[in-house]
Amino acid sequence: MFADLDDARYVYRLGSHGLSLIDAATWAVRWTTAIPIPRSFGAAGLSGLTPRFFHGYTEIVAGSPGESVDGPQGGDPPVTLPDQVVTAVDARGKVVQSCTIRPAAQDPVLLPRTGIVLLPGDPGQLAPGLVAYSTATGARLWQAPGDLSVTSADTVYVSTVAPRPGVAAYDAASGRRLWSDQLQGATLITDLAVINGIVYAQQPDAHGTHVEVIAIRARDGVRMWRWPWWLTEESVPPQIIGVNPGAVLLLPPAQIRGTYFQTAQLIGVADGRLLVSASIGNYGSNDAWHSWPAVLGQHPAIVVAQSSGQAFIITTAGGFSLLATAGGFPPRVDAGGNGGLSAVARLGAEVGTSAAAVLPRCNRRARSL
């Protein structure tokens, strides 16, 4: 089951049957839509995919440069798929557009409103960036140099490399650069996300003692604040989850080794102030965190969990509180914080590097969203 954090009324199920929308209150299936898949991928592979939620539509990418679910297993080498299909489905269960990409690329992003599909650039370059292709003609429209990229609301944000590391924003339809910001320091940005109108860039310091979480206003590139995430020998940079437009949660990705207590930090978006920190214990797995909205009693809450079953709940009843629901050590709240939290977040899709793809072929004109 998957949830779009912008709409807590429904959950989604993805499998060989296709994509289904389920009413979270009654568990009634509202609609089911078949998802186009390449023959090389196999229908069984759909159950292992994670849909990506954009404003007004859901995106499913069937096929990747990795191995096919229906292909060799066990110790056999990965199978590079010859093609993939990326599909956008609207809130009514209608396929807005689907595109076939040959060969399969790493994390393609389909933007049906602007008639664009974004693919990784040349992996032989220091900053391969990404390339925008027309979904109508397959023509190459524009290219942006950079290392990482993330897409939100038809704007593309990339981490730049030269002359200094930084962040730049581009209009997805035209490729026009909207703004750019060169950051302090010479180390490259290691993570980029857009949550509730704020770009969050993570930049390690030169000595490996901490990572700077840098908040930049998405609409105009104004730098808002920097927050240090201190590293130990066994710790890694944080995963950022949106809580509401006023707060973000910095979570330690599941550790690989060690028994130390991990700390979650709730940061105010406006000023970068620490609202509350909580030790959440050693959950002992290697999964990423996922989150979705919930209601605890009559109070809004956010569930944060790993696919292995470790989870905790943030609720706003009487202020910030953290409740363990599965696995790990009991969490402990270390500082009081403000209430009024609700769960809305939207992370863009990071585009990695892969072999250069040929022109995409889109078999359907985009419907009006």
- Give the residue extent of every domain in the chain: 1-144+354-369, 149-231+346-350, 238-343
Top CATH class, 149-231+346-350:
mainly beta
* pLDDT attached to residue 348: 26
Alpha-carbon span 170 to 151, nearest angstrom? 10
pLDDT in tens, 273-322: 988 777 665 554 556 666 666 666 666 666 776 665 566 666 655 445 55
Place of tokens 């990705």: 253
Q: Is the pLDDT of residue 38 over 70?
A: yes
Query: Which pLDDT band holds residue 4 (cuts at 50, 70, 90)?
Result: confident
Of 167 and 245, the structure prediction assigns the larger pLDDT to 167
Of 339 and 67, the structure prediction assigns the larger pLDDT to 67
**In terms of Cα–Cα distance, which of 102, 106, 109, 180 is closest to 145?**
180
Average pLDDT value over all residues in the chain: 74
Q: Is the pLDDT of residue 43 over 80?
A: no
Report the predicted TM-score, pTM, of the whole model to 2 decimal places.
Answer: 0.75
For a pLDDT cut of 90, what percent of the chain falls above it?
26
* pLDDT attached to residue 24: 79
pLDDT in tens, 105-120: 888 999 998 999 998 8
pLDDT in tens, 51-108: 888 888 999 998 877 644 444 444 455 556 678 899 999 999 999 999 998 888 888 9
Of 175 and 148, the structure prediction assigns the larger pLDDT to 175
Q: What is the mean pLDDT of residues 122-133?
A: 73
Q: Burial level of 294, CB count in 10 A (0-12/13-18/19+)?
A: middle
* pLDDT attached to residue 78: 53
pLDDT in tens, 241-272: 877 788 888 887 654 444 455 677 888 899 99
Asked if 127 contacts 162 with a C-beta cutoff of 8 angstroms, the reply is: yes
Q: What is the mean pLDDT of residues 216-234?
A: 87
Task: State whether the Cα torsion 212-147-153-221 is positive or negative.
Answer: positive
Of 2-16, 79-93, 208-222, the range with the highest mean pLDDT is 208-222
Q: Is the pLDDT of residue 364 over 80?
A: no
Q: Is the pLDDT of residue 367 over 90?
A: no
Q: Is the pLDDT of residue 191 over 60?
A: yes
* pLDDT attached to residue 262: 67
* pLDDT attached to residue 41: 72
* pLDDT attached to residue 328: 45
Q: What is the mean pLDDT of residues 326-352?
A: 31
Alpha-carbon span 209 to 229, nearest angstrom? 9
Q: What is the DSSP letter of 211?
A: E
The phi and psi torsions of 43 (rounded to 5 degrees) equal: -60, -30
